[in-house]
Amino acid sequence: MASARPPALDWTARKAPSLEDFEILAEAAYRRLPKRFLRCCEDLVIQIEDFPDEEILLEFETESEFELLGLFRGRGLPQREGGETGELPNMIHLYRRPILDVWAEGEDTLGDLVRHVLVHEIGHHFGLSDEDMERIEQEAH
């Protein structure tokens, strides 16, 4: 018996998600996180960029601009007790091109991968363990 093949997807008119598309994906992933988690993220800034800048690549001693999918910058909540004046808000950077590279090679949906990176970086904002981050990510499904 001949196996039936599904019709091929027509990729000729499709484009890679833009930075704006990634903002929409990240916003949707963020809004699906547990409410108790979101309450502590009110001042957190999420920024989408194509790649980490040269300073970050040097700081992390990366061999390629594709190595970092995301980055938390700032002082985690446990260290912010005093609320010093003039302090910049905590920021999460999501890097579009490295995330697309991992997505193209894997089996996860792009939305799932963006959520995974977002939860991991927010976890640094809280000082969470990998196990805590995994549990929160599962709750966001």
Where are the chain's structural domains? 19-78+88-139
Exposure pattern of 65-92 as b/e (b: 16+ CB <10 Å)?
bbebbbbbbbeeeeeeeeeeeeeeebeb
Say which CATH class 19-78+88-139 falls into.
alpha beta
C-alpha dihedral, 72 to 73 to 74 to 75, nearest 10°: 40
Mean pLDDT on 46-51: 96
Q: Would you say residue 114 has pLDDT above 60? A: yes
pTM: 0.79
Q: Would you say residue 133 has pLDDT above 80? A: no
Exposure pattern of 108-119 as b/e (b: 16+ CB <10 Å)?
eebebbbbbbbb
pLDDT in tens, 54-112: 999 999 999 999 999 999 888 766 665 655 666 778 899 999 999 999 999 989 999 99
